Amino acid sequence: MISIVNVAKSYGKHKVLQDIHLEVPKGHVYALIGPSGAGKSTLIRAINALESIQQGEIVVDGLQVHHKTTDINKVRANIGFVFQSFNLYPHLTALENVSIAPVKVKKVNREEAEAKAKSLLSSLGLGEKISSYPGQLSGGQQQRVAIARALAMDPKVMLFDEPTSALDPEMVKEVLDAIRHLAATGMTMVVVTHEMGFAKEICNNIVFMAEGKIVEVAPPDQFFSNPQSDRARDFLSKVLEH
C-alpha cells in the first residue's frame, strides 16, 4: 500500500532523511519510533507530500506521491493525517468539522455527509458531542474528532504523527483505543509514537529511526526483546527506564 524507495532529503548539509526504504503492506500497522530529530515527522509528512523529498520515490496505492504530473489532491484523498495538535476548525462544531471536507472536496451531499459524520463520531464515543465546538471539548475528545474527520474521507491509509503527545495522561487511553479499534478494522497505518506498549500491542512492525536513517525494522516481539543495533538498545534502555 505504501512503498518508499531510496528517499533522501537535506536542509543544506544536514541530511534529515537518507537511504530510506520501506514497504507497508495493505492492512498492516507500522510504528515509527526513535529519538527526537531522527526524521520521523519529516518521513511521515513526505508520505502525503506535506514535505518535499530530493531523491527517491514514494508510492501510495499505486500513485507516485512526488511525481510532477501526479495530482496531489488525488493522493491526499486516499490518506488521512492526524497531527499532534488537533488542528480542528475552532468556529465549526464537531459535526461540521467532520462533514466539511466530504461536502467541499468530494461533493457529497450535506445530509449524507452529516449522517456519516454522526455515525463516525458515535463510533468514537462522541455521539453526545456533535454540536460542541472544539473549545468546549477536552484534548482527547478533540483528537477523536480529528480522527473522525480523517475517516470521513474514506482514506485507504491513515498516518498519525504523535497523536497522543499533546494530551494529558488520562486522555491518552481513549485516543489509543480509537486507533487500536481502527487497526482491528484492517486500516493500513503508520503511527509515529512514544507509546511503546501500544506499539508493541498493535503493530506488525516497528521501524526504528535515528539520525535520518532507518536503523531497524522488526516485529515488536523481536525489536523489544532483542534489538539488533546499539542505537536501538540505547534508545530502548532510556525509554523503558523512563
> Contact positions toward ligand ADP, by CB under 6 A?
11, 16, 34, 36-42
**CB of 115 vs Mg ion, minimal distance in Å:** 36
Alpha helices per DSSP H over the chain: 40-47, 72-77, 94-104, 110-123, 139-151, 169-184, 196-202, 220-225, 230-241
**Which listed residue (2, 17, 33, 41) binds Mg ion by CB under 5 A?**
41
Which of Mg ion, ligand ADP, none is residue 42 near (CB under 5 to 8 Å by kind)? ligand ADP
Residue 164 interacts with Mg ion (CB under 5 A)? no
Identity of the residue, 41 or 188, whose beta carbon is nearer to Mg ion in the bound complex: 41
Residue 189 Cβ vs ligand ADP, minimum distance, rounded to whole Å: 17
Residues in CB range of 208: below 8 A, 6 or more apart: 33, 34, 214, 215, 216, 217, 218, 223, 227, 229, 231, 232, 235
User: How far is Cα 200 from Cα 225, in angstroms, rounded to an integer?
Assistant: 11
> Which stretch, 38-46, 56-64, 101-109, 114-122, contacts Mg ion (CB under 5 A)?
38-46
The distance of closest approach from Cβ of residue 46 to ligand ADP in the complex, given in angstroms and rounded to an integer, is 9
Q: Answer yes or no: are the C-beta atoms of 15 and 31 closer than 8 Å.
A: no
Binding stretches for Mg ion (CB under 5 A): 40-41
